[in-house]
Amino acid sequence: MKKRELSAILVALFLFAGLLACGEAQEERAAEKGDKLVAERVKESADVGGGVIGVGTKVIGAAGLKITLPSGWTRETPSSTIRVAQFRVLGEGGQPEPGEIAIFHFGPGGGGDVQANLERWAGQFQQEEGSDPMTKAKTAVQQVGDLKITTIETAGHYKTQAIPGAAGVFDEEGWHLLGAVIEGPGGPWFIKAVGPDAVITSQRDAFETMLKGLTLTG
């Protein structure tokens, strides 16, 4: 083989190797982008109560309860160990004072009976002329799969020395409550949404949809 032909072959091989390397680099960059996207989705769906459930979703596990989060519920670090999850919500127009949603779990069978909790929550809202807080509260019961859900809604002057699992004193006019006690295997769980009237009432439909979508993680 002539020297000139050999040189041409070597140049061609060199160029081919360069193109192959470029292709591999592009594939690596594409793979890195894909890995980054998956990582971002995993981060977005990170659980606050024990294990990621579903990549790229807004589904969390909270002490055995599987919850699909409504849009606009911003997850926060629970302020107490008895809060398995905690969220901040804003009303329409982004009112400056947010509402708070907390999910409590005290272990299987813990936390007291349903009626006692409903009365305690209602009692945190003072009514005119000292009337029984439960007379204004609206309660209902529904069955969602294996879960029995008792809900309560009330409003008024929210005054309490402490919320279970969090420090602080509340003395707020014009506040609202959406609450639920969920009974089922591993329960009960207690979900409490409280805050300014406009904020919490704007979340009523989302709260009800969330309850209808509850399932057990097991």
Tokens of 29: 């960059």
Q: How many CB atoms lie within 10 A of CB 161?
A: 10
Strands (E), 41-146: 59-62, 65-68, 74-76, 83-89, 99-105, 125-126, 138-144
Specify whether the CB–CB gap between 70 and 57 falls below 8 A: no
Where along the chain do its domains lie? 1-44, 59-216
DSSP 91: -
Give the per-residue pLDDT at 187.
Answer: 94
pLDDT tens by residue, 142-187: 999 999 999 999 999 998 865 555 556 777 889 999 999 999 999 9
Q: Is the pLDDT of residue 21 over 70?
A: no
pLDDT for the residue 173 = 87
- Stated length of the chain: 218
Mean pLDDT of the region 111-140: 91
Q: Provide the 10 A C-beta neighbour count for residue 151.
A: 19
Q: Are 59 and 42 in contact (CB under 8 A)?
A: no
CATH H-level superfamily of 59-216: Mog1/PsbP, alpha/beta/alpha sandwich (3.40.1000.10)
pLDDT tens digits, 70-117: 988 999 998 888 899 999 998 766 566 889 999 999 999 999 999 999
199: helix, strand or coil: helix
Task: State yes or no: pLDDT of 39 exceeds 50.
Answer: no
Question: Would the pTM of this model clear 0.85, i.e. be above it?
Answer: no
User: pLDDT per residue over 43-58, tens digit each?
Assistant: 333 333 333 333 344 8
